[in-house]
Chains A and B, each alone.
Chain A
């Protein structure tokens, strides 16, 4: 028996214009959590997709229990005991939770003794079991499309767990979970460790890595940097290895001075009775207002309501004292409000279009000659500015956005909104899936915008980010605003207290 359940040696993989992996290795032990770390575009997801049979590697080998294996496709990977939760979720929205989990391997039974049909009862019973295992309480028969992003993620995890795997790949599983759910996930991971499953854990969150990882492999620019025992590492060491230089601060010094109230929301209520209701708040010029709460607190729904994506019944929005009429996002954008949405795949990127098209789409008016001809050079300048400012890794501005790494896609979307030069910028989980270096860059951008007098609303599920970046934090619970905390007085405890103030 080999010491490793699975090892990958000398793996290389190129895409047109990029060498995504350059002789990378990864060795997994049974019952251990192996963290895989690196900046956006370092090649983590690509390596995992090679292991899971989604990509064919150009070079290198995979061994399981010391024996060389070839993995042809995901189905093959699953039968060999490898399961993966993808960074980009891919559920089928119109089908139920149960159907999504058992897709492709529905439990069958025989009707009249010989006609094979799907055993729905067993499927939903098993689903209920699995959901209990991942500590989720929703109905197995609910349509996946009705779930929130984090709930969908739990479904994906349940799906992977149900495959009885020996190797489980979690690619940024917590990027849209709140702390409670992260705890639940960690308990599941502990359970799986006890069952001798080897777990690959990809995340940009240092505290998580240091808590649950046993070993850490770090990659940079598609190259293998090294593997360490987690106990030998500190956040600083990891960051230095990842970035290739030292980083001192996680948050920039903010110099913005909140001024007069510019944006005011009064008695804002959703048409959905279970969603946000009677929300009142004010936003000052040059202020960063953090929005905290548990998953299900309706923070995203509220912001989407303000931005015209969702409908409201009562309430008004005042901008500089004048009522804003927002029926659809275009109205909001025309009046200087912009919003980076939470669901990158669903409402963010246009996958088959280029980076240039994606970044310029909401600000095209600025690049017109004679009022109607798009000036390619101006668009190119916009792309290059952003590439430089946020260190976006893309072979060119014509590259399709879908071939960028998750974090780099996010940076492109941030760029899209900045190009609009909005007065009020709503950011829903702006640093989701972004590496430490780039996070810092995005924080700097937020801080700069605030200093310039822009008003910013930032939803975040990362406590430290909320506390580190906000002038004020609005906390929501179950559709209501339960209170405000000043940034300087904010602590994990007082935010949690408000976030759990159920009626």
Chain B
């Protein structure tokens, strides 16, 4: 009995050691919660959850690229692109400043499909550039990032887009349970479903194993018969789908869209992944880790907001957390020697 207690103790200790930053933030949250009244409110909690949900979807997309020693700098702009397209297509038919006056009011399910298809195309393009043209992912996606942004500006005429159909915004901002007290935003379920899906893909399917193999040693993977080209294209394409989904949700969540939406999200997603233990040298990374990383980041934002920190300082603090988290994470590997 005693022994098993010790084991649990040791396990908890290991978790703390493994994720010092996450723990620190939870402690900070508790402290802030005690100081500020409405920190521990359902409103705040659900706000945190829906923010995290969208970021988590983006981070899931980018995680595959990171695990295979690549990256995707076009993530944020792809989110913006999807938001713009979704926004334009979901505008009310009778909205005064409707951008495409000639277009009829569209079914929002159909819009989702269109947006996803476009995201898929962007992902395929990235995958093609990386694998067939052999452009390093950093550069390839730096290029597409700019291209995507440019096209977003063109189609949105650099204007903010509003006047969405009621059903679009209310559905996506919908929540389970009573509005005042206990409730869970639908976005949370979307995130959980995709989290589980990705966990399944990463751990239980051939594609997942191939992904880790490429990250671990791409030459060895190729020699072992892994179709590295196809696997990578699939990873970038999946990423594109996730960004598109995130963009679609984000536009509705914010009730408006513009080409500048999603700017810098790729960096937050990469930071979230890295904080969550995805290794930049490839082959390492888990879905729960990504979730923790993203959550830590969003929690940090909310804490800063509640403390009333000058928003400009937020960047400074966030940057420090990234560096600190990764430095602590790396220590795990150094300590092993």
Complex interface: chain B residues within 8 A of A350 (CB): 212-213, 216-217, 220-221, 283
Q: How far apart are A40's CB and chain B's nearest CB, in angstroms?
A: 20
Residues 256 to 286 of chain B near chain A (Cβ within 8 Å) = 279, 281-284
A394 at the interface (CB under 8 A from B): no
Interface centre among B206, B213, B220, B226 (most CB of A within 10 A): B220
B224 at the interface (CB under 8 A from A): yes
Chain A, Cβ-Cβ closest to B282: A352
Known contacts A329-B225, A352-B282, A361-B226; decide if A372 and B216 are in contact (CB<8 Å): no
Inter-chain contact B224/A361, CB cutoff 8 Å: yes
> Chain B, 210-238, contact with A by CB distance < 8 Å: what is the 0/1 string?
10110111011111111100000000000
Known contacts A330-B225, A330-B227; decide if A347 and B206 are in contact (CB<8 Å): no
Inter-chain contact B206/A372, CB cutoff 8 Å: yes
Taking a contact as CB atoms closer than 8 A, the residue among A54, A307, A328, A357 that contacts B213 in the complex is A357
Please report the C-alpha to C-alpha distance between residue A309 and residue B215 in the assembled complex, in whole angstroms: 19
> Chain B, 110-133, contact with A by CB distance < 8 Å: what is the 0/1 string?
000000000000000000000000
A257 at the interface (CB under 8 A from B): no
Please report the C-alpha to C-alpha distance between residue A267 and residue B213 in the assembled complex, in whole angstroms: 35
Complex interface: chain B residues within 8 A of A349 (CB): 217, 220
A247 at the interface (CB under 8 A from B): no
Interface centre among B204, B221, B222, B223 (most CB of A within 10 A): B223
Please report the C-alpha to C-alpha distance between residue A349 and residue B219 in the assembled complex, in whole angstroms: 10
A-B contact count (CB 8 A): 83
Complex interface: chain B residues within 8 A of A329 (CB): 222-225
Complex interface: chain B residues within 8 A of A307 (CB): 223
- State how many residues of chain B have any CB contact under 8 Å with chain A: 25
Complex interface: chain A residues within 8 A of B215 (CB): 352
Q: How far apart are B25's CB and chain A's nearest CB, in angstroms?
A: 27
Complex interface: chain B residues within 8 A of A334 (CB): 225
Complex interface: chain B residues within 8 A of A420 (CB): 225
A55 at the interface (CB under 8 A from B): yes
B44 at the interface (CB under 8 A from A): no
Q: How far apart are A363's CB and chain B's nearest CB, in angstroms?
A: 9
Complex interface: chain A residues within 8 A of B279 (CB): 352
Inter-chain contact B206/A339, CB cutoff 8 Å: no
B254 at the interface (CB under 8 A from A): no
Residues 344 to 383 of chain A near chain B (Cβ within 8 Å) = 346-353, 357, 360-362, 364-365, 368, 372-374
Inter-chain contact A330/B282, CB cutoff 8 Å: no
Interface centre among B204, B225, B283, B337 (most CB of A within 10 A): B225
Q: A351-B283, A352-B215, A352-B279 are in contact. List 19 more A-B contacts (CB 8 A).
A: A329-B225, A330-B222, A330-B226, A334-B225, A347-B219, A350-B216, A350-B217, A350-B221, A351-B217, A353-B212, A353-B216, A357-B212, A361-B213, A362-B224, A362-B225, A364-B206, A365-B206, A374-B209, A420-B225
What is A's interface to B at a CB cutoff of 8 Å?
54-56, 307, 309, 328-330, 332-334, 339, 341, 346-353, 357, 360-362, 364-365, 368, 372-374, 416, 420
